[in-house]
Amino acid sequence: MKYLICNLKANKTYDEMLDYKEALKNLNYSQVEFILAPSNIYLSLFKNTNFKLCTQDITLNEDLNLTGDITIKQLKSLNVSYTIIGHYERRKFYHETTYDILTKIKLALHNNLKVIYCIGETKEELERHVEYQVLEKELARVLNNIPTSSFKNLIIAYEPSYLIGTNDTCNIVKIKETINFIKKLIFDYYEEDIPVVYGGNININNIKAFTTISTLDGYIIGSSSLNPTNIGIILDNLTKC
């Protein structure tokens, strides 16, 4: 099974989202696990669609019902089945710690919400050639602290932070090596096969190059997901690889 995760972030007004919803009806995503992550205020628009719904984050304080928070129980009442946790933007701008991320992952898994766990090195870490150590630590901090029975509800999203939201050229060879490193590490240490997807400047111009990475289980796309035509092209390439 290949995955296509569309993270819309904080984009689109209500009327724009209605048009977007109509355009998605023209796409064929029957051969992939298509996962849509709109802003929480739009989740109800997609409650009865035949693809998977995802929230872009969950609260740390599940049981406190705090002002401004949204509980997992509320999310699941809208047929949400996935959540993104550990995204670089949450780490950078909201200063989410390893503790925060692990707590959210445990909460999600405990409540039968599947997790898309984001990991990735910074530009500075890449230049210091410590990217593999960074990725290993990010994986270990989570996988060592949850039961292996929960691994089936995990997707690892490898997103180098320096490529998120940019138009920089992707080094396909380097990305392939890193994906293979992640998958081998998981299998060697845990004897499990967790899906690994890639995110970071994927677009209609470079998607064919990404399909050459046979070990890749799919993609998580940001800006490219805002245009349904782009999604259709990426889907076509994904189903052919």
* CA separation for the pair 55, 47 (Å, rounded): 12
Does the annotation mark 136 as catalytic?
A: no
Give the dihedral sign, CA 192/193/195/199.
positive
Ramachandran area for residue 99 (φ above 0: left; ψ -120 to 50: alpha; else beta):
alpha
The residues facing 219 across adjacent strands are 4, 198
Q: How far is CA 238 from the centre of its chain?
A: 16
Q: Residue 129 catalytic?
A: no
Angle at 234 between CA 225 and CA 56, to 5 degrees: 35
Per-residue pLDDT of the chain (241 residues; tens, 9 = 90+): 899 999 999 999 999 999 999 999 999 998 999 999 999 999 999 999 999 999 999 999 988 999 999 999 999 999 999 999 999 999 999 999 999 999 999 999 999 999 999 999 999 999 999 999 999 999 999 999 999 999 999 999 999 988 877 777 789 999 999 999 999 999 999 999 999 999 998 999 999 999 999 999 999 999 999 999 999 999 999 887 6
Catalytic residue among 96, 125, 131, 159: 159
Domains with residue ranges and CATH for the chain: 3-240 (3.20.20.70)
Q: Which of 62, 87, 89, 125 is catalytic?
A: 87
Q: CB neighbours of 9 closer than 8 A, spacing ≥ 6?
A: 39, 56, 89, 222
Q: What is the pTM of this model?
A: 0.96
Residues 6 or more apart in contact with residue 142 via CB below 8 angstroms = 101, 102, 105, 117
d(CA 170, CA 120) in angstroms, rounded, equals 14
Distance CA 89, CA 118 (A): 10
Q: Are strands 3-7 and 154-158 parallel, antiparallel or unpaired?
A: unpaired
